[in-house]
Amino acid sequence: MFELTGKVAIVTGGGRGIGRAISRVLAKQGAKVAIADIRLDEAEKTASGIGKEGGRAGAIKTDITDLSSVKAMIEKVHELLGKVDILVNNAGWDRIVPFLKTTPDLWNRIINLNYKGVLNCVYCVANDMIEKNSGRIISISSDAARVGSSGEAVYSGAKGAVISFSKTMARELARYNINVNVVCPGPTETPLVEEMKQESEKNVKIFEAMSKIIPLRRMGRPEDIAYAVAFLASDEAGYITGQVLSVSGGLTMA
């Protein structure tokens, strides 16, 4: 089940956190994984970990906010692994700040990474999939996009844009057998969340409070998200497109 043998996958932000877990799980299922991350040292750690587990992966320094960097990354993927079957748009970032205390510079940073980064990657990769007449695009949004999240207004908007964009691309690309879906994590234990906690005691309290109200009684683990992505990347999910799957221990059920 969920065999990905021989498939070529790109995972953006695969250097750490959720992206690292996705890279590992896809490689375990047999995919050859390109880890496209702005932090090359972390991407190399993910790749060498996969190598030790018997999988195949390569690290490629990429800034997904820069179209020319994404184009160069795809060329390298073609050289190293071949044309792309699976794209996982995972790289993302946020800071918890009430909207009226944010600045336009912060809006730009958040929108460029969380939304425009996805546009850049889909723009460059979809042609490989059209050529193959098959493909999977899975984007990591957030439950913040589905239900809102105080202190994350611009991020919620950008992640909501990822959902709307993905639904439209699911329609546009269906004729080429390219399935486009979205996975929305709830609060998940990653270096990003650790950094948020280190920023303030208030943030620590926010995450503690959220853990308590999650019906399954714990924060997400990166692997929880990765298994959902592996399913959506597999042949078994071939009849699923344009959908949004929350992986949040039941925190949101809307």
CB 113 within 8 A of CB 91: yes
Segment 167-196, which members bind ligand NAD (CB under 6 A)?
Answer: 185, 187-188, 190-193
Give strand pairing partners of 184: 246
Binding track, positions 79-98, relative to ligand NAD; x by CB under 6 A: -----------xxxx-----
Tell me: does residue 120 bind ligand NAD (CB under 6 A): no
Stretch that binds ligand NAD, among 31-39, 52-60, 79-87, 125-133 (CB under 6 A): 31-39
| Backbone conformation region of residue 250, classed left if phi is above 0, alpha if psi is from -120 to 50, else beta | left
Q: Using CA atoms, how far apart are residues 204 and 147, in angstroms rounded to an integer?
A: 21
Q: Using CA atoms, how far apart are residues 234 and 220, in angstroms rounded to an integer?
A: 22
Identify the H or E element spanning 236: none
The number of residues that bind ligand NAD (CB under 6 A) is 29
Tell me: does residue 15 bind ligand NAD (CB under 6 A): yes
| Of positions 23, 29, 120, 142, contacts ligand NAD by CB under 6 A | 142
Tokens encoding 73: 């990354």
Nearest approach in angstroms of CB 220 to ligand NAD is: 7
Tokens encoding 47: 């790749």
List interacting residues with ligand NAD (CB under 6 A). Answer: 12-13, 15-19, 37-39, 42, 62-65, 90-93, 113, 140, 142, 185, 187-188, 190-193
